[in-house]
Structure 1
């Protein structure tokens, strides 16, 4: 299933005006079940002008670690999944969310705010308390799975993870002030709702 992203967001992500150079320490999986630094995008991302508020800061600081966990889960699928459809979906998720991490990190840097490291959110306490985030036990269970069992676990957990991201994005649309952040939130809602429907179909579930 192909997801069409908005032209506005493609323009933002494509812009390379050397506003800031970021080195992101994303969290990944090394194939042996241990957390390791994954290749996070190092990019020069332009930051459009515009007023922002605390809701925009919270959105970026929460969504960055949330996205990093989705990327980590997708990395696991490369070696653990058995279904080609699951592997393809994981690649699509990673390719969509890594540039979004870079974009949100650029915003925070331009605003003089801290960029979260790894999967720890700023002022969110335990990362697993964020909507849809897997806790340590769930991550360990996924690391220990393979084949069809992994496929089912990946789809089930990614549905929950996407639902959490959609909820966070909907809050940004209601409470945020920064237009590019609200646009990104809209993109996340559109893309991830479509992926939720796809994953439910893959699991043979509805609703």
Structure 2
């Protein structure tokens, strides 16, 4: 029992030491450039890109509130169309605000792919209603 208590005590001591060292070294400290400068509300949640992503997300969620028909084929498409449109809208936000070329390339591909799939789903739904 005494040996087990000693091992536990050693683990607690090591953990405490690691926590202390990480705090002393600044690990976990705010490292954003110009941290603490600017307006109090200028965090990431206030970024124009964040507002645009939130707007696209909200529009998608509203558009997905389509009544169910009981027909899985129809329901799948009528709910996926606004989902795909949401992806397009978010990709457009990425094109406007992202800086990484790979992100922009992916956004362009998403727009092209999702527009094609939306057209296919709408055509299927139109043919189904005839």
TM-score between the two structures when normalised by the length of structure 1: 0.31
Q: Tell me: higher relative CO, structure 1 or 2? Use CA pairs within 8 A at least 6 residues apart.
A: 1
Which structure carries more helix by proportion?
A: 2
TM-score between the two structures when normalised by the length of structure 2: 0.48
Rg: which structure is higher?
A: 2
